[in-house]
């Protein structure tokens, strides 16, 4: 299982709807969910697709979900479908993509 680690820990502002913002010292994140949907009833307003990746900070249980939509989601789904996971595991590829897209701060990606 791949994870991204931060040394020193990154301070991330967290909040839930209606809750005050709090800061969390994050030393690692792991991918805990991947979902994509191209089903007609779940299309976005532009009519294509949704892909989401959820990461978790294991020590606190805090989760963060990144959502890709439409052409960006379709391109990501196509890349996943054609990837060789025997060379680089899916969760490692997901973390690399989230960092490359600026969705997560850069850190050290390690596999266990």
Residue-by-residue DSSP string for 46-73: TSS-EEEEEEE-TTT--EEEEEEEHHHH
pTM score? 0.83
pLDDT in the model for residue 36: 86
Which pLDDT tens digits describe the chain residue by residue (112 residues)?
Answer: 899 999 999 998 877 655 666 888 999 999 999 998 876 655 555 556 888 999 999 999 999 999 998 778 888 888 888 888 888 899 999 999 999 999 999 999 999 7
């Amino acid at each position: 299982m791949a994870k991204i680690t931060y040394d020193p820990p990154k301070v991330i502002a967290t909040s839930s709807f209606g809750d005050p913002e709090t800061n969390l010292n994050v030393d690692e994140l792991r991918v805990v969910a991947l979902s994509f949907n191209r089903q007609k009833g779940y299309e976005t307003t532009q009519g294509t697709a949704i892909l989401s990746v959820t990461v978790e900070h294991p020590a606190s249980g805090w989760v963060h979900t990144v959502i890709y939509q439409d052409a960006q989601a379709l391109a990501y789904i196509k890349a996943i479908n054609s990837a060789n996971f025997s060379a680089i595991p899916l969760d490692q590829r997901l973390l690399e993509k989230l960092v490359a897209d600026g969705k997560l701060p850069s850190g050290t990606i390690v596999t266990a």
